[in-house]
Chains A and B, each alone.
Chain A
């Protein structure tokens, strides 16, 4: 039953995509209802699956189906689908956020020139994302992985008339490509050793030591490189903030809740094959990204850029959790983060939408509607957006009673316990708690700048209105989902993440022989739980308080401090000049190298080798041509013709055309025959 349902969930959006791309423009309302109908059906099926999962309450539930994709003697590739609790939760998240995005977009993109195509791409994206979720093997995951890359490319470049959007889509695609090379190498290393792509076979293969040591570490890091690309981890984080050029609902769906979480999902899936060394790489990349991206978010002025760096930072958290072994906590944070971060993006979309209309009314086309320095005081004008965003901000900041508190706490506890067992890795919890502090600070900075204080552009404030119901609907829904209660049912203890999630998604032992057992890791995390909780409440409070002092009470001036911190401030605002440095030390040298190689290719290889080869061929063909003409053509071919000509000329004398000669020949022939007959 689950496989059938999930196939429907998978293919309905694809069907919508096909209909939209071919007939979208001809349908009434440009066919948005087709997409919405498809995704809503998927959502309903996902909800049914979710509730039957809850009612059976079996943490070991697993349903798998596979088929042979192609078969060439020894070489056989089987593809298939895997449905377990992880998949079901993920399907629900994807379809839920996708549905919200569809609804939100009907208003946000009203009157857009490529309205129907936009919905088509949303369908394609949902299809490919569900494909990643359902894959039971690395190959089909890789295929869907590339498909989400394509749909992300198409959606970021939705307004491709803008150069920045076109560049951003290219950048996203190419940066992901770098990670995907690692992913592919990882897949091939594993296939080479184990001979199968299916997760089950791979885990068994690793457990029976078919692949060990450095090779396994390399394979794990390779696969993780794919995750780094998709989940925008340092140093491949540069594409995600630029991807904000896409429409805001797309940012909510793809660049906050689902696609970027695919990297985390992959890391969670392959966790059992990661060796301790690979896990360390994962932990350090994730931890560093968490802190590093948070430090950039502090100084950004663009509301979406703040959220983008916040997403990078939160994804870093999840990766950090995988690296320290508490991978179910990573998935838990993926779930809660998907809800509140999507909501924050919808909220920012609502604000931008409103700003855009207000500016449009004033015929002001120079002011940036996304710049928070132009906002302020929107609280009373947009109450629903404000409250909904406030709930999600509290969640992401890690305030008790909200979902983010639980998941962040689980991650921080895992990290803390890891550092307790391995004191040389004390940096990891510092990354984690530091990022938590900064996150609380910049998220409230964003809230305060947008919704509180005096309006920065007083002439606009009267034109700022709450968005229409179809946009506030998702805001209300997802804002409500920021409360802890949805994730801990049937228990009501807001201090512990114990609930249906922890019952149904239980950590499993790593397949790598010698790795600590799941029991050992969760025991450690359990011991560190209280300390981590108090610390995280403390850092969140400090962050919020600092933010309040800076931006509401204004007893400390943000401007003065930014001047005092000088180069740090500029570094952060300049995003540590990664784009510039990549351009200077990576892109430009690559271009120069390419030019050098082109010169070698053209001046040396082409001129001497290719042209030389051409000349030799020319000469040889002249010689053979001569031989052909003189020997074969003149002697053999013409000779045959000459002999035939001679014979013809001899024989034609017999052909006189005189009837009587022929009669004479016949008679002579007859006589000769008769003579022969006689003897």
Chain B
């Protein structure tokens, strides 16, 4: 059981770090990295519960899906970042505050 808790601690730390990165980093790519960290924290949870929670292979399959989705998400998000750069000549997310208007 302790082993599961260890995994969950690591997962929580990863999630917190990811959230922190998303909230604080001004660089768009760094924000994306934070998102990856959150996704990986979730993956770790899936796998840990799959391994120790008697859930067979479901968690493994889920994390594979998450990895695939993360790849797709990264592709789309990087495209957005490039477009932001093309329009604003910066990838500082604070400058992309057009939603305010």
Which residues of A does B touch, CB under 8 Å? 655-660, 663-664, 667
Task: Say whether B22 contacts A660, CB under 8 Å.
Answer: yes
The answer to the question of B99 belonging to the interface, with a C-beta cut-off of 8 Å to chain A, is yes
A659 to B22, CA, bound (A): 9
List chain B residues, Cβ under 8 A from A660: 22-24, 31, 93-94
> B23 contacts which of A655, A656, A657, A664 (Cβ < 8 Å)?
A664
The answer to the question of B101 belonging to the interface, with a C-beta cut-off of 8 Å to chain A, is yes
> B97 contacts which of A657, A664, A667 (Cβ < 8 Å)?
A657
A667 to B34, CA, bound (A): 14
Give the residue name and chain of the A residue nearest to B20 (CB).
A667
Task: Say whether B23 contacts A658, CB under 8 Å.
Answer: no
Task: Say whether B19 contacts A655, CB under 8 Å.
Answer: no
A659 to B27, CA, bound (A): 12
Closest CB-CB distance, A158 to chain B, in whole Å? 82
Task: Say whether B19 contacts A658, CB under 8 Å.
Answer: no
A667 to B93, CA, bound (A): 18
A667 to B21, CA, bound (A): 13
List chain A residues, Cβ under 8 A from B31: 659-660
* CB within 8 Å for A657 and B98 given contacts A663-B22, A667-B23: yes
> A659 contacts which of B19, B93, B101 (Cβ < 8 Å)?
B93
Give the residue name and chain of the B residue nearest to A659 (CB).
B93
List chain A residues, Cβ under 8 A from B100: 655-658
List chain B residues, Cβ under 8 A from A656: 97, 100
A657 to B94, CA, bound (A): 8
Task: Say whether A658 contacts B97, CB under 8 Å.
Answer: yes
List chain A residues, Cβ under 8 A from B94: 658, 660
List chain A residues, Cβ under 8 A from B96: 659
Given contacts A655-B100, A657-B97, A657-B101, 19 further A-B contacts (CB under 8 A): A656-B97, A656-B100, A657-B98, A657-B99, A658-B93, A658-B94, A658-B97, A658-B100, A659-B31, A660-B22, A660-B23, A660-B24, A660-B31, A660-B93, A660-B94, A663-B19, A663-B23, A664-B23, A667-B19
Closest CB-CB distance, A649 to chain B, in whole Å? 14
A657 to B101, CA, bound (A): 8
Closest CB-CB distance, A672 to chain B, in whole Å? 15
A660 to B31, CA, bound (A): 9
A320 to B99, CA, bound (A): 104
List chain A residues, Cβ under 8 A from B93: 658-660
Convert B75-101 into 0s and 1s, putting 1 for each residue whose CB lies closer than 8 angstroms to a CB of A: 000000000000000000110111111
A663 to B31, CA, bound (A): 11
Give the residue name and chain of the B residue nearest to A670 (CB).
B19
A154 to B94, CA, bound (A): 92
List chain A residues, Cβ under 8 A from B97: 656-658
6 A-B pairs with least C-beta separation = A657-B100, A657-B97, A657-B99, A660-B23, A664-B23, A663-B23
Convert B1-42 into 0s and 1s, putting 1 for each residue whose CB lies closer than 8 angstroms to a CB of A: 000000000000000000100111000000100000000000
A656 to B94, CA, bound (A): 10
Give the residue name and chain of the B residue nearest to A661 (CB).
B23
Could you list 12 examples of A-B contacts with CB < 8 Å? A655-B100, A657-B97, A657-B100, A657-B101, A658-B93, A658-B97, A659-B31, A660-B23, A660-B24, A660-B94, A663-B22, A664-B23
Give the residue name and chain of the B residue nearest to A660 (CB).
B23
Closest CB-CB distance, A264 to chain B, in whole Å? 95
Convert B52-95 into 0s and 1s, putting 1 for each residue whose CB lies closer than 8 angstroms to a CB of A: 00000000000000000000000000000000000000000110
List chain A residues, Cβ under 8 A from B99: 657, 659
List chain B residues, Cβ under 8 A from A658: 93-94, 97, 100
Closest CB-CB distance, A665 to chain B, in whole Å? 10
Closest CB-CB distance, A13 to chain B, in whole Å? 82
Give the residue name and chain of the A residue nearest to B96 (CB).
A659
Closest CB-CB distance, A491 to chain B, in whole Å? 115
Give the residue name and chain of the A residue nearest to B26 (CB).
A660
List chain B residues, Cβ under 8 A from A655: 100
List chain A residues, Cβ under 8 A from B19: 663, 667
Closest CB-CB distance, A444 to chain B, in whole Å? 112
Give the residue name and chain of the B residue nearest to A652 (CB).
B100
Closest CB-CB distance, B83 to chain A, in whole Å? 15
Closest CB-CB distance, A419 to chain B, in whole Å? 113
A318 to B93, CA, bound (A): 114
A28 to B94, CA, bound (A): 93
Closest CB-CB distance, A467 to chain B, in whole Å? 100
List chain B residues, Cβ under 8 A from A659: 31, 93, 96, 99
A218 to B22, CA, bound (A): 106
A659 to B99, CA, bound (A): 9
List chain B residues, Cβ under 8 A from A667: 19, 23
A661 to B22, CA, bound (A): 10
List chain A residues, Cβ under 8 A from B98: 657
Closest CB-CB distance, B64 to chain A, in whole Å? 27
